Amino acid sequence: MHDLEELFRLGPPRRLARFVRASRPPFVKPMPRVLLVLAAGWLPLFVLTALRAPEQMQDLVRDIAVHARYAVATPLLVVAYSSCGRRLGVIVGNFARAGLLDAAGRQILAEQIAVSRRLLQSRAAEVVAVVLAVASAAATLSGLSISEEMAAWTRNSGANALSMAGLWQFAISLPLLLTLWFGWLWRIAVWARLLIRISRLDLDLIASHPDQCGGLGFLGQSLRAFSTFAMALGAISAGRLGHNHLAGTSSTFTDGVLAGGTVAVVVLLCVAPLCAFSDRMMQTWRRGSMAYGALATQLGMRLEAAWIDRGDGRGDGRGDGRPPILEAPDFSAAADLFAVVGSVQTMRFIPVDTRSLVMLVTATLLPFVAALFLTMPFDVVLETLKNLLI
């Protein structure tokens, strides 16, 4: 079990963390790592600005997008390595614990877990994540005009060149954030691959299972596990929203597109892997709905024959010599069976429950609410939220 809890804690930038000795005590716990990324990606921006251009400090303090990226999103992505990674591993282990697989299936599951471990520990994946992060940061810088489009604290006054703080942002802060982001994309890809492989096994699903997912309802807990990751993505977009409000370039439409687009991306990344089980769940539903439907029909016919005069000679409805109707076991058995049939008929085709989905969306949107309160008066925030929701 401990090995499974560690499974999805692996992956980029694990090797990079070892390179900077962040995989040793005291950095094995989340909080010291959070302090480390803050010290590397966020605090130097203030130090360099104070040393080289103190007159630009107010501009940096008001740059809510920078704080959202490097003081909120980056630490949250680090925390998610521990919280989300552990819970995903426990979910994978539940396929064997819940009795959904026979001996052969458990053996294949163990093999697929080993493959996933190798993929997460891949040196190539680590290198690609870092290269993509650096290339993306360079592309972002090349697409900007240093003299006009960038914040004042990121450039030297009267010169078409980056300030020390601006150089640090594009050389360290942004690549660090993007490395964590690409590392999470790789982790989600490996998670999706593993679920696809498991969905092809001979799963013993139960159509009448009370979780209305055939016994796969525990997979919905993955959405709760991804809440920290979702909040990090929400913080990045919320920082842009707050920046737009401070710059006076926002509108209800753009706010809605930004928030809705972020939610759509989060839901796609977190829910799409679970769709691998949709076909198997639909097969279970079709089989169960017909089998339990036939059983309910048979019991219903026997019940009516014994208790109801249908006018066709199949029942007299008199109940002579039988116990009082409220004490008759026939009705209790019928009620229990019909409840089971109703549960089968409402079986879901994706192992996602409403509460987990709401928690995921709420985690994504919380940074947007915080950004609005930081950049707008209280009554304006309420009016904006009202317009977004209606």
In one letter, which amino acid is 80? Answer: A
Predicted pLDDT of residue 168: 93
**Do 167 and 219 belong together in one domain?**
no
Give yes or no for residue 235 having a pLDDT over 50.
yes
**Do 123 and 170 belong together in one domain?**
yes
**Do 122 and 155 belong together in one domain?**
yes
Give yes or no for residue 306 having a pLDDT over 50.
yes
Band of residue 234 on the pLDDT scale cut at 50, 70, 90:
very high
How far the first Cα of the chain sits from its last, in Å, is: 46
Q: What are the backbone angles phi and psi of residue 155, rounded to the nearest 5°?
A: -135, 155
pTM for the whole structure? 0.84
- Among 204, 229, 259, the domain boundary falls at 204
**Do 152 and 275 belong together in one domain?**
no
Give yes or no for residue 280 having a pLDDT over 70.
yes
CA distance 220 to 207: 17
- Average pLDDT over all residues of the chain: 83
Give yes or no for residue 48 having a pLDDT over 80.
yes
The pLDDT tens digits for 158-205 are 657 788 888 999 999 999 999 999 999 999 999 999 999 999 999 999
Domain of 177, in residue numbers: 1-204
In one letter, which amino acid is 58? Answer: Q
**Do 232 and 151 belong together in one domain?**
no
> What is the total count of domains within the chain?
2
Q: Which of 15-19, 54-58, 312-316 has the highest mean pLDDT?
A: 54-58
Average the pLDDT over 96-102 and give the result.
Answer: 89
**Do 269 and 199 belong together in one domain?**
no
Q: Which residue has the higher pLDDT, 316 or 49?
A: 49
Nearest to residue 69, comparing CAs of 95, 100, 45, 94?
Answer: 45
CA distance 311 to 333: 24
Contact 224, 359 (CB under 8 A): yes
**Do 219 and 306 belong together in one domain?**
yes
